[in-house]
Amino acid sequence: MIRHVNRGKRSEIHKVAYSSGNLAVNLMSQAFATYLVYYYVDVLGVRPAWISLAMVFHGVLNALLNPLFGHLSDRTRTRFGRRLPYIGFGLVPLAAAFALLWTPPADEGAAFPYFIGTVMLYDALFVLVVLNYSALFPEMFQSIKDRAYVSSWRQMLGIVGMIVGVAIPPLLYSQIGWGAMGGVFAALSAVFLALSLWGSRENPDAPRTTFRLTTAVRHTLGNRAFVLYVIGSFLVQFTFALLPAGIPFYTKYVLGREESFNTLLLGAIFLSAIPCVFLWGRLTAKYGARQGILIAVACYAAALLPFGWVTKEGGAIATAVAVGFGLAGLLVLLDVMLSEVIDEDERGTGARREGMYFGMNGFIVRWGVSLQAACMGLILEASGYEAGLNEQPASAAIGIRWMLSGIPAAALLLALLFFYLYPLGKRQSRS
């Protein structure tokens, strides 16, 4: 039997406060992903091959820590609950570790060892705090209406954090320096994580799992609904990674525009997604997660297709706006679907295992970024792209257009199949 955290309704202010944690999560993760390698390679002069090797290790560590920390959280029992202690004690060290990333020692020879040490520290704290923050969502909000509503707020604030993490750093580091920029972002992230903690509640008597790690992994991967969900989610995350990585090539070699136009295209996607998340929240509450995800995947795939033939700025911006609509739906629905899987698992195991499910989901979808990098390299190589050329051959432009249209659309059609086979909403709609 699924236990509710509170019998009464959470207030609107607490729901929004909890959701604000996603602003901090996306602010840090986007600033990290967009600028850290550039800072150490281009500004500090560390060899690119060393940094690339460290980032590969970072990706592997991040993937492995997700199920490990998730399982640890599921088995934790304190009078404050299972998740809140990790967030409460971890948020300040996490913010401090983020600030340290941007304050390397003056000695050039120490920059690379410092990079490895601080990235590993930041990575471990990030997974610990963010996984537990995410794992609170299914337990705190257990009706489809509440989950759709809160997921809409989480994604809206997450998009704001994403925009800040990508657009604001150049304005800050050019004026106050990299270290001060890191400090500002760290303080801002700590404030929003603390606000989220204030808005969070947990049931300290929630049924705790007694599974060992190997048994927990086996039960999780043996859940048919989860396997279908996570394969679909992996394919969706692959397209999420391919889109921002491919747009700079599309801007330069298809549209023939300067780099600043990248900001306009990405801005059109994210700004159009912000109001749409609330529309998708209402659709989810009305039709359910399974129906909603099928519609969202279809809309997102259809919106990407025009990148295959559009070569003018106006058409590209209109396409980006349409992409934002479908993207918003997927952002809202993925966590709602995973919450349904967790509810179903409790009916079978008698325990709430949000940590392991979010951890295994993080472990699997993490490799979507690796698939994106491999796919992108193969397409550019096969299409005749040559770095350093101001004008690429026509075949390269065709390859770039496919990279933003046909390839992700094919991945999304495959994801649509797995989400169609996802059983939970189907059973509910027939009952």
Closest CA to 190 of 16, 25, 10, 337: 25
- Using an 8 Å Cβ cutoff, are 243 and 323 in contact? yes
256 burial (CB, 10 Å; 0-12 / 13-18 / 19+) is: middle
- Using an 8 Å Cβ cutoff, are 218 and 154 in contact? no
Count Cα neighbours of 380 within 13 Å in the Cβ-side half-sphere. Answer: 16
pLDDT (tens digit per residue) in 380-429: 788 887 766 677 778 888 888 888 898 999 999 999 999 999 998 764 44
CA–CA dist 271, 163 (Å, integer): 9
Query: What proportion of the chain, given as a percentage, has pLDDT over 90?
Result: 52
Q: Which helix (H) or strand (E) holds 312?
A: none
Task: State the alpha helices, DSSP H only, in 222-353.
Answer: 224-253, 260-287, 289-304, 313-349
CA–CA dist 284, 104 (Å, integer): 46
For tokens 């304050």, name the residue: 103
Q: Check residue 233 and give its pLDDT.
A: 94
Q: Is the pLDDT of residue 5 over 60?
A: no
What is the rounded average pLDDT of the residues 110-133? 93
The dihedral formed by the CA atoms of 319, 325, 331 and 335, expressed in degrees to the nearest 10: -140
- How many residues in the chain? 431
* Token pair recorded at residue 131: 């996984």
pLDDT (tens digit per residue) in 328-377: 999 999 999 999 999 999 888 888 899 999 999 999 988 877 787 778 77
- Using an 8 Å Cβ cutoff, are 225 and 424 in contact? yes
What is the rounded average pLDDT of the residues 83-101? 96
Looking at residue 243, its amino acid is L
Q: Check residue 429 and give its pLDDT.
A: 42
For 29, residues 6+ apart whose C-beta sits below 8 A from its C-beta are 126, 165
Predicted confidence band of residue 10 (pLDDT cuts 50, 70, 90): low
DSSP 4-73: PS-SSPPPHHHHHHHHTHHHHHHHHHHHHHHHHHHIIIIIS---HHHHHHHHHHHHHHHHHHHHHHHHHH
Count of other CB atoms within 10 angstroms of residue 192: 21
Q: Please indicate whether residue 390 or residue 33 has the higher confidence score (pLDDT).
A: 33
Q: Is the pLDDT of residue 67 over 80?
A: yes
What is the rounded average pLDDT of the residues 11-35? 91
Predicted confidence band of residue 9 (pLDDT cuts 50, 70, 90): low
Helix axes of 423-430 and 313-349: crossing angle, nearest 10 degrees: 70
* Token pair recorded at residue 85: 């202690």
* Token pair recorded at residue 95: 């913010």
Domains of the chain with bracketed CATH: 11-206 (1.20.1250.20), 220-425 (1.20.1250.20)
Q: Is the pLDDT of residue 134 over 90?
A: yes
pLDDT (tens digit per residue) in 149-163: 999 999 999 999 988
Predicted confidence band of residue 257 (pLDDT cuts 50, 70, 90): confident
